[in-house]
A and B are shown apart, each in its own frame.
Chain A
Amino acid sequence: MRGLTNHPHPSPLPLGEGTAKMIPLSLHALTAAALILPGLLQSPAYAADDDEVDFQYSHYQEGKRNLGGVVNDLNAIEVEGLHGGAKVSLTDRIKFAFNYTQDTWGGATPRFNTPVDGANSDIITHKILASASPKYNVFSNKIDANNNILNIIDSDPVDGHSIYAKQDTRWVHTLAVASPETRKQGDFKLSYQWDETALDVGGGISVENDYESRFGNLSLRQDFNQKQASVNLGLSYTNSDTTVALSELDLVYIDSSFYKDQLDDIIDNPSNPFRPKGATLKGNRQDWATTLGITQILNQDALIEASMGYTRSTGYMANPYKAVLIEYIDPLQTPGLSGERTALFRPVLEKRPDLRNQWNWAMRYGQYIQPLDAALHLDYRFNHDDWGVNAHTFEADWGQPVGNGWTITPRVRYYSQSAADFYQPVFVVNQAAPQVSLINVPHDPAKYPANYSSDQRLSGYGALSGGVTVSKQFTKGVSMEAGFEYYSHAGSLKLGGGGEDKFADFNYYVANAALKVNLEALTNHGGIGSDSSDSNHYTHHHDLAPAGVLFSHMLTQADKFMVGYRYMRSSEAGDMLHGTVAVDDARVVNQGCPVDSAGGCRQTATGMTMNMHMLDLMYAPTDWLNLMLMPQFVDMEMTLRPLAGAPPDLDVGHHAGSGGPSSGHTTGGVGDTGMYALFKLFNNPIHHVHLGLGLSAPTGDVGIRVRKLSHQDLGYIHYGMQLGSGTWDFKPSLTYTGQTGAWAWGSQVNGTKRLEDRNSSGYALGDLFQGTAWGSHSLTDWLSVSVRGVYTWQGSINHQYNRERPKGFISDLSSQCLRSDYMYQGDTNGDGEPDGPLILDAPAYQACLAAAAVSVPADNAIAQQKQDSIQRSTPMDQPSNYGGHYVDVGFGLNVNVPYGKFAGHSLKFEWLQPVYTDVNGYQLDRDGALSVNWSYAF
């Protein structure tokens, strides 16, 4: 995400008053003198980045869209983001930085617009309430001479012809819901600094299931006048591919004559040549961007940066999930008696130009406010492009230090843009609608606008946002920051008015929390440089356990900290196992799923990968007690295949239509959070024993459901794909380590006991017990190798997902036989005409109830079977197919840096190879697991 812009960084040793008082005079003089030397002088706006490791978590949450009065029970877009990065100096002049970013998003997003009124309100409810997917079929409605939708309000008393009137002319979004998807990005930057010049070369890649983007950038900075001014020149290139698997339903959007060149892997439909059963939409875009900026110190308290940029983008720039509603009006039709005509409405995929030129001009101003020791920043940016979008951005923030290392920064931002030339909420095409069934109507593409989009991002609107960031600088170079921002998008906020109507308004908030460890400040504060004996002690005595062992060591000195990052990747692939033996598909079909409800398994996994990112924060209040906090971020991916000989689907399942890249699931987000205390039980120069007691808090989501764009809600995802346990868990451990000479060894027993019987989704994961022992040998003073054996037992899942009533479930027999249908008026005076009070025809009513008592349970059972054939159709949906006995052998490599610039750092790797697998029920075989662990104690 960081490319062209050179992010300045707070100086580790601020030269302002607060710190100046504490620095001895001689040092102050020396520092001031050093500042005059060109090589050490830093331009304030481009302060040299210190060596640093940082982590950030963010949560984006959109508010629910207003659907013109229709009840919206769909979850709005939600994004969980994780970022980790490091900047290190390779030499005095060469710096290297890399970043890893991951977002997982899911929720309901607008697809196209439809009229609130007329026949279409039915569509909104149908789309949104019943199936949660847009209705794709053409619908027709009467319109007036101005193309407004008409409704029948009366009929003519004389000839009976319908009388129409314009009703509600508002538009409303139709939403489509997506189950979670994950994007991963890695990027790097290599910088070389001369005395007054700096050159950065960077690049990276961003990968998601339907979009892959590769980018490279180059930037050059030249300082002038003892760095009073700097000129920055940047160039970047991005190449992105869109690859979207379209289902039969999606393809109804697409008139293949429009997208012929972009469709690939077309699966023909023998019964309808105009509606393929599947295809892949492919597109490529390229962006070249250049920027030129100047930063200038204006006086002792103010600086300014002015920049301009140009971006040229070519290729496929449309969003493959956004459509427009086209109103087809056949000009040859004869208007009705009230002058009304008929229009056909049909959504088609949006179309954007394949060239875009963008220019932007920006100004940033910073003013120091002496009496308050605060800083005011004012930014303005103007964007202009040849799509017709002109945008202004105003931003202001106020950085206010409040003592003890705390800084509070409130911020406000206003953004306004004009609509793109080809944006409209709906488009009119004056010709008969193209074929929708088997009849191909002659159709003239020239009668469409050249480009069309109803994406609200291209509409005219304004956005107001504001937030606050609080940061705290701890001693020893550790700082934390937390931010919150609320953003409101509204047509009425557009500068000068004329924005889009209210239907497109929405809002979101973002919360983020970051932890930064400044490695150079640590050295400056004597964290390691002045205390190498201790870090050696630490390194050599306790850090030889393999990467995969948690709680393997303690900090042995009071008031010490450790920051660590753990990455674990485990994968499953290969045969389906029952116990220890591989079984064929027929066996899985017949026994892997409950036959009574779903009729057997239909699909199974071909692979599953889990990535866990853990932050490992440790503090020693005393030498016998360590406290640990371990937040986690997890993501998972599973691929599926149909089982040979599986029973047919009873309903359109979530795996139906698979075969393309969509035949799988991904999930990701915050996992459970561990809180532990380690107690030293015994310690001498050779042997060490400690006890760990802790709790795992259920911060990971266990209610994730499967929902793909243009399909219905398909129930909970497979148990193993949820992000946490959903229960509070007790996690004790007992660890023994020993060391003599170059040899070290250890063993540990640990367990997980679920403290609750069920989580909010109705089940609980099985308890877990693990025993492990290892030995390691130091090859040099910085490198050691290890071998480890692990035995793991885990119970199967207890209970199951909360059972949900299937669609069409009848809960009340009497609803099938309405008493009012069996009431008749008696004949009291015997004249054969009904004249008495209403009487219940009891025998007929009872007969109806008796019949319902037979038919309703049968119908319910069928509805349940249909649902089960979707929701319980794989072995991974069965609680009994979890857990087992496992034996693994681990091979590890540990790097501990004893001295020099990176003293105190430790980097470990371990590969766990399964050697014995005995699964409960039917499960996919295991492939192995990789653990990587970086830690730093200070």
Chain B
Amino acid sequence: MKTTTSTANLLMLGLGIALTACAPVQPWERGNLAKPQMALDLYPLQSALRAHNYGSREAAAGGNAAQGGGCGCY
């Protein structure tokens, strides 16, 4: 357990460092990124619904705690 956790944390740290090395993209060059289809969450309403369904059906609630959603006791 401990190894899994620390390996993953290390990977994440490495990634964080790597990201800071990215070439700058000027604000006026971000037209494509601003397109609606490029939003990381394209359909937030639907995502919330899907997260609720997955959360009541799967053991890995995936950080859904504190978003309510009730018991899902079915």
Q: Does A54 contact B (CB under 8 A)?
A: yes
Contacts of A359 in B (CB 8 A): 5, 8
A321 and B69 within 8 A (CB): no
A559 at the interface (CB under 8 A from B): no
Would you give the shortest CB distance from B1 to chain A, in whole angstroms? 6
Contact of A213 among B12, B24, B70 (CB under 8 A): B70
Tell me the smallest distance from the CB of B49 to a CB of chain A, in Å: 5
Complex-state Cα separation, A481 to B46, whole angstroms: 9
Complex contact A368–B27 (CB within 8 A): no
B32 contacts A301, CB within 8 Å?
yes
Cβ-closest chain A residue relative to B23 = A299
Docked-complex contact A299 and B25, CB < 8 angstroms: yes
* Contact (Cβ within 8 A) A15 B49: no
A217 lies within 8 A of chain B by Cβ: yes
Contact of B33 among A2, A301, A364, A516 (CB under 8 A): A301
Partner-contacting stretch, out of A136-144, A378-386, A439-447, A815-823: A378-386
Chain B residue at smallest Cβ distance from A106: B74
Distance of A291 Cα from B61 Cα, bound (Å): 14
Stretch with Cβ within 8 A of B (4 or more), from A6-14, A268-276, A849-857, A924-932? A6-14
Contacts of B66 in A (CB 8 A): 3-4, 215-217, 236-238, 287, 289
Is B9's CB under 8 angstroms from A308's CB? yes
Task: Give the CA-CA distance A15 to B26 in the complex, in Å.
Answer: 14
Contact with A along B29-67 (1 / 0, CB 8 A): 111111111111111111111111110011111110111
Cβ of A829 within 8 Å of any chain B Cβ, yes or no, is no
A1 at the interface (CB under 8 A from B): yes
Q: Does A650 contact B (CB under 8 A)?
A: no
| Known contacts A10-B39, A510-B53; A384/B4 CB under 8 A | yes
In contact, B63 and A360 (Cβ under 8 angstroms): yes
Q: Please name all residues of chain A whose beta carbon is closer than 8 Å to the beta carbon of B65 when the two chains form the complex.
A: 236, 238, 287-289, 311, 313
Q: Are B22 and A512 in contact (CB under 8 A)?
A: no
* Stretch of A394-402, A792-800, A865-873, A893-901 with 4 or more beta carbons under 8 angstroms from chain B: A394-402
Query: Which listed residue, A14, A210, A391, A415, touches B34 by the CB 8 Å rule?
Result: A14
The interface residues of chain A lying within 8 Å CB-to-CB of B34 are: 11, 14-16, 42, 44, 47
Please determine whether A458 and B40 come into contact, CB atoms closer than 8 angstroms: no
Report the bound CA distance from A229 to B20 in whole Å: 8
Chain B residues closer than 8 Å to A370, beta-carbon distance? 32
By beta carbon, the residue of chain B nearest A359 is: B5
CB of A10 within 8 A of CB of B60, answer: no
- Give the distance in Å from the alpha carbon of A469 to the alpha carbon of B44 in the complex: 12
A45 touches B40 (CB 8 A): yes
Given A359-B8, A401-B37, A512-B46; A183-B63 close (CB under 8 Å): no
**Interchain CB contact (< 8 A) of B62 among A205, A225, A364, A381:** A381
User: Smallest CB–CB gap between B58 and chain A, Å?
Assistant: 6
Specify which chain A residues have a CB less than 8 angstroms from the CB of B19 in the assembled complex.
229, 294, 296, 298, 304, 306
Asked if A105 is at the interface of the complex by the 8 Å CB criterion, the answer is yes
- The answer on a CB contact under 8 Å between B25 and A294 is no
Quick check: B45 and A514 within 8 Å, CB to CB? yes
A536 at the interface (CB under 8 A from B): no
Interchain CB contact under 8 A, A397 and B42 = yes
Q: Which residue of A is nearest B26, CB measured? A: A226
CA distance A429 to B32 in the complex (A): 62
The reply to whether A469 and B43 contact each other, CB–CB distance below 8 Å, is yes
Q: Is the CB of B68 within 8 A of A185?
A: yes
Interface 1/0s, chain A 456-486, versus B by CB < 8 A? 0110000100000101010000000101010
> Nearest chain-A residue to B15 (Cβ)?
A306
Q: Pick the contact of B27: A5, A109, A227, A383 (CB < 8 A).
A: A227
Bound Cα distance from A211 to B73, whole angstroms: 9
From known contacts A9-B44, A296-B19, A298-B22, infer whether A391 and B67 are also in contact, taking CB-CB under 8 Å. Answer: no
Contact B36 A14 (CB under 8 A): yes
Q: Are A415 and B54 in contact (CB under 8 A)?
A: yes
Q: Measured between C-beta atoms, what is the minimum distance from A410 to chain B in Å? A: 12
Chain A residue nearest in CB terms to B30 = A44
Contact indicator A393/B37 (Cβ below 8 Å) = no
Please tell me the size bucket of the interface on A. 35 or more
Pick the contact of A485 from B35, B48, B50, B74 — CB < 8 Å? B50
Given contacts A374-B37, A389-B60, A391-B60, contact A210 B71 (CB under 8 A): yes
CA distance A79 to B22 in the complex (A): 46
Least Cβ distance of A362 to chain B in Å?
A: 8
Known contacts being A32-B28, A297-B33, is A185 close to B70, with CB within 8 Å? Answer: yes
Interface residues of A in 240-293 (CB under 8 A from B): 240, 242, 287-289, 291
Within 8 A of B (CB), among A25-66: 32, 35-36, 41-42, 44-45, 47, 54, 56, 58, 60
On chain A, the residues within 8 Å of B24 by CB distance are: 225-226, 228
Give A854 Cβ to nearest chain B Cβ, in Å: 48
B22 in contact with A83 (CB, 8 Å): no
Chain A nearest CB: distance from B29 CB in Å?
5
Partner of B74, one of A107, A288, A305, A415: A107
Partner of A361, one of B12, B23, B36, B70: B12
Q: Cβ of B67 and Cβ of A457 under 8 Å apart?
A: no
| B25 touching A386, Cβ below 8 Å | no
Residue of A nearest to B36 (CB): A10
Q: Which of A206, A242, A400, A417 meets B59, CB within 8 Å?
A: A417
| Chain A window 554-581, contacts with chain B (Cβ cutoff 8 Å), 1 for yes, 0 for no | 0000000000000000000000000000
Contact between chains at B62 and A300 (CB < 8 Å): no
Taking CB as reference atom, which chain B residue is nearest A395? B50
* Contact present for A208 and B71 (CB under 8 Å): yes
Q: How far is the CB of A790 from chain B (nearest CB, A)?
A: 36
Is B62 a contact partner of A308 (Cβ separation < 8 A)? Answer: no
Asked if B41 contacts A8 (CB within 8 A), the reply is yes
Q: Is A358 at the interface (CB under 8 A from chain B)?
A: yes
Assess whether A204 is in contact with B25, with CB atoms less than 8 Å apart. no
For the complex, is A592 an interface residue (Cβ under 8 Å from B)? no
B17 to chain A, nearest CB (A): 11
Question: Hey, which chain A residues are within 8 Å of B50, CB to CB?
Answer: 485, 510
A47–B73 Cα distance when bound, in Å, is 35
List, in ascending order, chain B residues with CB within 8 A of A385's CB: 59-60
User: B35, A375: Cβ atoms under 8 Å?
Assistant: yes
What residue of chain A has the Cβ atom nearest to residue B28's Cβ?
A32
Within 8 A of B (CB), among A196-222: 204-206, 208, 210-211, 213, 215-217
* CB-based nearest B residue for A458: B59
Q: Which residues of B contact A457 (CB under 8 A)?
A: 57-59
B70 & A105 in contact (Cβ 8 Å cutoff)? no
Is B33 within 8 A of A300, CB to CB? yes
Contacts of A17 in B (CB 8 A): 31
A420 in the interface, Cβ–Cβ < 8 Å?
A: yes
**Residues of A contacting B61 with CB < 8 Å?**
311, 358
Asked if A407 is at the interface (CB within 8 A of a chain B CB), the reply is: yes
Name which of B11, B40, B74 has the most chain A CB atoms within 10 A of its CB.
B40
How far, in angstroms, from A926 to B54 measured CA to CA in the complex?
A: 42
Closest Cβ of chain A to B34, distance in Å, is: 5
Closest CB-CB distance, A235 to chain B, in whole Å?
Answer: 9
- The list of the 9 closest CB pairs from A to B, nearest first, reads A236-B66, A10-B36, A399-B37, A383-B60, A391-B60, A7-B44, A211-B71, A3-B67, A287-B65
Can you sample 7 A-B contacts with CB below 8 Å? A7-B41, A44-B34, A206-B70, A211-B73, A242-B71, A373-B37, A510-B53
Beyond A107-B74, A299-B22, A303-B33, 5 additional contacts (C-beta under 8 Å) are A56-B46, A109-B74, A361-B8, A375-B35, A409-B42
Point out residues on B near A: beta carbons under 8 Å.
1, 4-5, 8-9, 11-12, 15-16, 19-20, 22-54, 57-63, 65-71, 73-74
Residues of A near any B CB (own CB < 8 A)? 1-5, 7-11, 14-17, 20, 32, 35-36, 41-42, 44-45, 47, 54, 56, 58, 60, 77, 79, 81, 83, 85, 103, 105, 107, 109, 178, 183, 185, 187, 204-206, 208, 210-211, 213, 215-217, 225-229, 236-238, 240, 242, 287-289, 291, 294-301, 303-306, 308-309, 311, 313, 319-321, 358-364, 366, 368, 370, 373-375, 377, 381-387, 389-391, 393, 397, 399-401, 407, 409, 415, 417, 420, 457-458, 463, 469, 471, 473, 481, 483, 485, 487, 489, 508, 510, 512, 514, 516
